Chains A and B, each alone.
Chain A
């Protein structure tokens, strides 16, 4: 297994020696936390004006993560670029000459990319949560020990990590940044939202990777006719990620570089 360790060191060096990957992670963090701060600040003023029903529906945890759902674009860019830029630049040929065993190469790339996403997401989720709650102030805010809050935080980290893994797997199949982003951006930021707001389609739409996984981002049960819960939704996202990663593995094994 020593060569896998070296392959991971290789992938990590590739990540940190590129401005585009470093910047996409910085953007993910900044966008998430800044929007969480802004959001908390705005809601602090309007919370008192809401009626009781609206106050009851208000989910401070989910709302505090709204910045992260925007910053997610940058994390998806990070995941896609770590894979597809190898193909668009031709560096894949140097990389595979250095690590010719495709399975080792792919495992190292996925492992390094998702581990990086996991660590950065853990920081971003924590910062976003405390930023939003601090700005919200009482009585709107919640604390870590409240019902469903810790679950939402852990879920948020898993969600971001799995979305990144899903993106990397898809990029390994498609090999093109433009094509992969052309599918993922509309999927995550338009199609899901649109389909999810059409009553009949919602039953199916909730199984889309980002919608299923994002159920865990709230501390209160969602309204609507969804059949998925926080953890079954997470399982659905995990299944999507496993599928994409497996497809990427077969593409990597079978095709010439």
Chain B
């Protein structure tokens, strides 16, 4: 179990993480979702003590990462694929990590087998593709057979086969009762792997919920209405108790109603319409909607 407690991280003027609190429970894949620059990586770096929090803390089974003896046996982290020296072989890289936490060297061969790198174990990692480096990073995370696994954007650089592989791996690890925490900036990716979601934007918590609940609450259905008389149409719908929102390019979006109702009302009040159609916002749109403010604010900051 991971407990993030009022975590705040400041880089000079920039507030990367702002009083963030949440918990990650074992036995399921928890997705960590947010647009680029939302503070996901900073939060994960703070989890393993690479970044010192400005205030607050992260506890893993009640201990700060630095307090854990032989931390690789407790927590495995893939934060960035290229966190290794390109001059070292895959085997050499893992051997050093194994020695640092008194993990038997025989374990190196096992994890290389697991990630499918046995054949390239004696090759220097500098020549690895991003996908191979990512697999080596996964091998390093699995080395100590840890209860807690952190993956920061693990599908980056993987081919479709690799993506499928890592999704299955994460589900399998969670199925074994481990705590699996995986970040992504893609909602669609999370929908496929995660059961639970932590959504952040601008360093703050936006949602802490199950994926099912998140989808139900955020995927919005509406009737898309294109008309030269949007004001009249809106009044007509309002007269029937139907709420509307302004869509892009003068389009009206009627919520909580049916195609038939809107058609009948338009005909009855003789409003010209060019198009009436049912629409469902995709999960990705729902996520963008949720984090829109955060993204806008960040873009502002960067311009300044």
Contact = CB atoms under 8 A, between A and B. Distances in A.
A257 to B, nearest CB: 4
A6 B66 contact: no
B116 interface: no
Given A6-B101, A90-B80, A94-B140, A256 B51 contact: yes
A9 interface: yes
B48 A97 contact: yes
A2 B71 CA distance: 14
Contacts of A46: none
Nearest to B150: A97
A85 B86 CA distance: 10
Contacts of A14: 85, 88, 96
B117 interface: no
* Residues of B contacting A: mostly: loop
A18 interface: yes
Contact of A100 (B65, B92, B97, B99): B65
Contacts of A98: 71-72, 97, 100-101
Interface in A83-112: 85-86, 89-101
Given A6-B101, A6-B102, A91 B51 contact: no
Interface string B58-86: 00000001101111100101011011111
- Which one of A10, A89, A94, A96 has the greatest number of beta carbons of chain B within 10 Å? A94
A55 B48 CA distance: 64
Given A3-B69, A14-B96, A100 B87 contact: no
A13 B96 contact: yes
Interface residues of B, number: 35
Given A6-B99, A97-B71, A18 B87 contact: yes
B198 to A, nearest CB: 21
B88 A96 contact: no
Contacts of A223: none
A97 B87 contact: no
Given A10-B99, A13-B99, A100-B71, A257 B87 contact: no
Given A13-B95, A17-B96, A96 B50 contact: yes
B250 interface: no
A91 B84 contact: yes
A98 B84 CA distance: 12
B85 A89 contact: yes
A100 B50 CA distance: 8
For the side of the interface on A, what is the size category?
20 to 34
B139 to A, nearest CB: 11
A136 to B, nearest CB: 40
Interface in A5-63: 6-7, 9-10, 13-14, 17-20
A219 to B, nearest CB: 41
Contacts of B70: 3, 6
A100 B66 CA distance: 5
Contact of B84 (A7, A89, A96, A99): A89
Mostly helix, strand, loop or mixed at chain A's interface? helix
Interface string A115-158: 00000000000000000000000000000000000000000000
A6 B95 CA distance: 12
Contacts of B83: 90-94
B256 to A, nearest CB: 49
A2 B80 CA distance: 29
Contact of A96 (B49, B89, B95): B49
B187 to A, nearest CB: 27
A13 B92 contact: yes
A93 B65 CA distance: 14
Contacts of A20: 87
A122 B262 CA distance: 91
A93 B93 CA distance: 13
B50 A257 contact: yes
B107 to A, nearest CB: 14
B52 interface: yes
A19 to B, nearest CB: 6
A52 to B, nearest CB: 54
Nearest to B52: A256
Given A3-B69, A98-B72, A10 B87 contact: no
Interface in B163-195: none
Contacts of B102: 2, 6
Interface of B: 45, 48-52, 65-66, 68-72, 75, 77, 79-80, 82-89, 92-93, 95-97, 99-102, 140
Given A10-B99, A97-B50, 4 more contacts: A10-B96, A94-B84, A96-B50, A256-B52
13 contacts: A2-B102, A7-B100, A9-B99, A14-B96, A17-B89, A19-B87, A85-B85, A89-B84, A90-B80, A94-B84, A94-B140, A95-B100, A97-B79
| Pairs of residues from A and B, 5 with the lowest C-beta to C-beta distance, nearest first | A17-B92, A10-B100, A13-B96, A98-B100, A93-B83
Interface of A: 2-3, 6-7, 9-10, 13-14, 17-20, 85-86, 89-101, 256-257
